Chains A and B, each alone.
Chain A
Amino acid sequence: QVQLQESGPGLVKPSQTLSLTCTVSGGSISSGGYYWSWIRQHPGKGLEWIGYIYYSGSTYYNPSLKSRVTISVDTSKNQFSLKLSSVTAADTAVYYCARYGAAAGLDYWGQGTLVTVSS
């Protein structure tokens, strides 16, 4: 059973960089076939795809966030990470990591972590 777990600071100051890590267990990122994804949900709102990464390092980002987003992968630790720069209060959200299969959808999700941007 694949499990994903987000970790990182729950509070980030405006203009700083939000950094989160997703640790994958029960399956190897390096086995291929899946894209490792970040999705966020503003309080009381819908879901917003941030981007994803393949184990090889290929990335795809939401065009609306592309200038501020970096997703990286560390296959030796079976982890992938999100960096979002120059954050504002509008980046306050629950951040989820998830596994995406082209023929399977976002089939495994982390529990989500609330990140608040505030001074």
Chain B
Amino acid sequence: EIVLTQSPATLSLSPGERATLSCRASQSVSSYLAWYQQKPGQAPRLLIYDASNRATGIPARFSGSGSGTDFTLTISSLEPEDFAVYYCQQRSNWFLTFGPGTKVDIK
């Protein structure tokens, strides 16, 4: 089973700042990595798929990069609505796993 590790666990930033979130896989997942945003009481929302492709309707301030075992989600300038928990997710041999999440909160 491929294990995903996310860092940091919590990121405290101010609106307008740049957020850089990391996701590391225990073995290569090629580019089969997605990122999701979840706000309290809501279902997760797909942000990025295949490591770097923005999902429909996702603002350009969200970008993803990486391949193999190391991936990054960048939010170029935090908006108030971006404070949430972010999860990465991989697919390997048709099995899915999620990372533990990074909480982005207001400093």
Verify B87–A105 contact, CB threshold 8 A: no
Q: Given the interface contacts A46-B98, A48-B98, A49-B98, does A63 sit within 8 Å of B49 by beta carbon?
A: no
User: Interface residue count for A (Cβ, 8 Å)?
Assistant: 23
B81 contacts the other chain (CB 8 A):
no
The complex places the Cα of A63 from the Cα of B94 at a distance, in Å, of: 12
Verify A47–B1 contact, CB threshold 8 A: no
The complex places the Cα of A109 from the Cα of B44 at a distance, in Å, of: 7
B105 contacts the other chain (CB 8 A):
no
Verify B43–A49 contact, CB threshold 8 A: no
- The residues in B between 30 and 67 inclusive whose CB is less than 8 angstroms from any CB of A are 34, 36, 43-46, 48-50, 55-56
Interface residues, chain B, with chain A CB atoms under 8 Å away:
1, 34, 36, 43-46, 48-50, 55-56, 87, 89, 91, 94-101
